Amino acid sequence: MSTEYTGSLRGAFCLMDYIEKVLEKLKEWARKLIETLLGPEVEPEPELIPIPVNEPGLRRR
Q: How confident is the model at residue 51 (pLDDT cuts 50, 70, 90)?
A: confident
pLDDT for 24: 97
Give domain status of residue 28, yes or no: yes
pLDDT for 9: 74
Give domain status of residue 48, yes or no: no
Give domain status of residue 56, yes or no: no
Give domain status of residue 61, yes or no: no
**Residue 45 exposed, middle or buried by CB count within 10 Å (0-12, 13-18, 19+):** exposed
pLDDT for 8: 75
Q: Which domain holds residue 35?
A: 1-40
Domains identified in the chain, total number: 1
Task: Give the tens place of pLDDT for each residue, 2-40.
Answer: 556 666 778 778 889 999 999 999 999 999 999 888 887
pLDDT for 25: 97
